[in-house]
Each structure stands twice: as structure tokens, then as C-alpha cells.
């Protein structure tokens, strides 16, 4: 646990800075990939190496669970950052960002449902009714 606390304390700002920097890339797709997959993967690999370096146990189940949580966390982070929350130098206070979080959490949870419905509705429009065939 001490290894984890030390690792997160030393690296959290670096990873957040990398993610914020990725948002400014010309390619939105590349920026999203770096925020949602690149930085979390780097963090997990370095976390695993830190545990191995000090001889701490690295159970496979824990690694998988942490990786899944990190993936969801990174997607949420990308979601809120693309909406201007938790970014430095944007003119909003941290308190303003925290005030927006309940609505953003709800929107994040509902987003997969909305995307699924819009996808299904889009595929339905392209299908001709049987009566016209």
C-alpha cells in the first residue's frame, strides 16, 4: 500500500498534465486515444514495475481490476475534460468544476444509452419497409 501511495503522489500531476496536453493536439482522435488509453496504460505499466522493483506482490486479479477501473476513470476524465472541467488556465475555479460534476456524472452514465439509441435509430432509417419491396 505504501508503494501505491508513493507512486500516485509522485506521478498524478504528470499524468494529468500529459492528458491536458493531449487535448490540444491537432488530431482529436489521437488526443482522445492518448487520454483514454495511452496515459492510463503507461500509468499501469509503471505502477506494475514499481511494485516489482520493491518486491511487492502484484496479484493478477488486482492488476485486472485496477486496469478496468483505470479505463473507466480515464473515459470519465476525457468526458469531463472535453467539457472544460478540471483544466488549468481556463478561467473557471475548482469549485465551479465540482458544482458541475453531478450533472456530468449523470450525462456520462447515460451517454452509452443515448449513443446506442441514436445508432439503432440511424440504422432503422436506412432500411426500407417490406411493403415497398
pLDDT tens by residue, 92-106: 788 999 999 999 999
pLDDT tens for 2-55 read: 777 877 788 878 888 888 889 889 999 999 999 899 988 988 888 888 888 888
- 133 within a domain of the structure (yes/no): no
Report the domain count for the chain: 1
For 67-101, letters b (16+ CB in 10 Å) and e give: eeebeeebbebbbbbeeebbbeeeeeeeeebeebe
Domain ranges, residue 88 = 2-126
Residue 56, domain member (yes or no): yes
Residue 66 lies in a domain: yes
Note whether residue 132 is domain-resident.
no
pLDDT in tens, 79-94: 998 898 888 777 778 8
Residue 62 belongs to some domain of the structure? yes
Amino acid at each position: 500500500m505504501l508503494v501505491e501511495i508513493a507512486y500516485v503522489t509522485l506521478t498524478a500531476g504528470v499524468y494529468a498534465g500529459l492528458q491536458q496536453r493531449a487535448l490540444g493536439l491537432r488530431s482529436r482522435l489521437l488526443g482522445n486515444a492518448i487520454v483514454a488509453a495511452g496515459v492510463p496504460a503507461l500509468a499501469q505499466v509503471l505502477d506494475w514495475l514499481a511494485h516489482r522493483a520493491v518486491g511487492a506482490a502484484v496479484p493478477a486479479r488486482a492488476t485486472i481490476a485496477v486496469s478496468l477501473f483505470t479505463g473507466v476513470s480515464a473515459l470519465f476524465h476525457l468526458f469531463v475534460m472535453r467539457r472544460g472541467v478540471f483544466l488549468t488556465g481556463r478561467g473557471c475555479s475548482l469549485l465551479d468544476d465540482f458544482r458541475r460534476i453531478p450533472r456530468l456524472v449523470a450525462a456520462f452514465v447515460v451517454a452509452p444509452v443515448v449513443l446506442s439509441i441514436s445508432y439503432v435509430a440511424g440504422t432503422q432509417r436506412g432500411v426500407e419497409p417490406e411493403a415497398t419491396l
